[in-house]
Amino acid sequence: MPLVTTEKMFKQAYDGGFAIGAFNVNNMELMQGIVDAAKEENAPLILQISKGAREYANVKYLRALIDCAIEDSGDLPIAMHLDHGDTFEICETCVNDGFTSVMIDASHHPYEENISLTKQVADYAHKNNVVVEAELGQLGGIEEDVVGVSAEDVMNHLTDPDQAADFVKRSCCDSLAVACGTSHGAYKFKSEPKLAFDVIEKIGNLLPGFPLVMHGSSSVPKEFVDLINKYGGNMPNTMGVPEDAISKASKMAVCKVNIDTDLRLALTAKIRQVFSEKPAEFDPRKYLGPGRAAIKEMVQRKLHVLGCAGKADICR
């Protein structure tokens, strides 16, 4: 089926108490692993392209890969989303390039400027039947060009529920990424985080039926970090968001959960393993293939954590 927006996905997710997995894509192996997992689990899917991915792979190549994924996946509902767009111009370009969803991240601007820029993007996107995600509050960690607050300061920059209600009304965004204690990257926390479920609940009560988004939600699986370190890597003190916390948020007003770091870890771990165990190997198919298989297996697990496995039929 053609690309879809997230509108119906989020309606079903909100009503059904689950969340849609939004996975960042940079190359063919990531795309295939993610899509194969969604096909096998019959899950709705959001494929995200960041500013860094556009610069690395060229959006024309990424769009061609997504077109192949659509053809290969049959009637699986798939949305194509811009992750962390930071200007009106990049959002405008992505709308014109056929994205069905764009994020304008103006959370680093003053509140009124965030509203104004988000409203400008929403006005343009809605004329083209494209939905808009915005962000309010500040996450921790680092993801490409997105630099958040320190890990120690994350809980001091949570989204204010009353401000969120005002923001959604005035900006006309279709979903809102909220700061609830999550953090970007693999080095998120020094100890197990405590997410602010009360913030999610309060925003949900003030905005009934409105979909919230969790960024910085990779769980940094220990098995991948251990593999990376075993085979020559150096990733001490990594810690992500526990999967049971992600699952709990998915049963609340959170309808979209972003996952990027875990994909990178899975691919890197398997490549390192092959290079170490077979040092004479030089065929990319022989080390990217195991990486792709690891991505698929990890994504399948995430789809069950989010509760969206088997939900494709109701999201078409």
| Active-site residue, selected from the candidate residues 67, 75, 83, 283 | 83
CATH no. for residue 72?
A: 3.20.20.70
259-305 pLDDT per residue, tens: 999 999 999 999 999 999 999 999 999 999 999 999 999 999 999 99
Question: What is the spatial distance between Cα 102 and Cα 78, in angstroms, rounded to a whole number?
Answer: 14
Q: What are phi and psi of 22, to 5 degrees?
A: -115, 110
**For residue 173, what are the contacts with CB-CB under 8 A and spacing of at least 6?**
104, 118, 122, 132, 133, 134, 167
What pLDDT is recorded for position 148?
44
Question: pLDDT exceeding 90 applies to what percent of the chain?
Answer: 82
Give the tokens for residue 116: 């104004």
Q: Are 78 and 315 in contact (CB under 8 A)?
A: no
Over 60: is that where the pLDDT of 150 sits?
A: no
What pLDDT is recorded for position 154?
53
Q: Which structural domain range is residue 47 located in?
A: 7-261+296-315
**Residue 285 domain-assigned?**
no
Average pLDDT, the chain: 92
In this structure, the number of other CB atoms found within 10 A of the CB of residue 152 comes to 10
Catalytic, 83? Answer: yes
Amino acid identity of residue 77, one-letter, is P
**Residue 212 domain-assigned?**
yes
119-136 pLDDT per residue, tens: 999 999 999 999 999 999
Give the tokens for residue 69: 């994924």
**Residue 31 domain-assigned?**
yes
| 88-102: average pLDDT | 97
Q: Look at the chain and report how many structural domains it folds into.
A: 1
What pLDDT is recorded for position 193?
72
**Residue 275 domain-assigned?**
no
**Residue 267 domain-assigned?**
no
Question: What is the spatial distance between Cα 130 and Cα 133, in angstroms, rounded to a whole number?
Answer: 10
| 234-243: average pLDDT | 88
15-27 pLDDT per residue, tens: 999 999 999 999 9
| 192-210: average pLDDT | 92
What pTM value is reported for the model?
Answer: 0.93
Over 70: is that where the pLDDT of 229 sits?
A: yes
52-94 pLDDT per residue, tens: 999 999 989 999 999 999 999 999 999 999 999 999 999 999 9
**Residue 289 domain-assigned?**
no
What are the contacts of 246-250 at 24+ separation with CB within 8 A? 246/214, 246/217, 246/219, 246/305, 246/306, 247/305, 247/306, 247/307, 248/195, 248/197, 249/19, 249/180, 249/195, 249/197, 249/200, 249/214, 250/13, 250/17, 250/18, 250/19, 250/305, 250/306, 250/307
**Residue 218 domain-assigned?**
yes
Q: Which residues pair with 234 in a beta bridge?
A: none
What pLDDT is recorded for position 156?
60
**Residue 287 domain-assigned?**
no
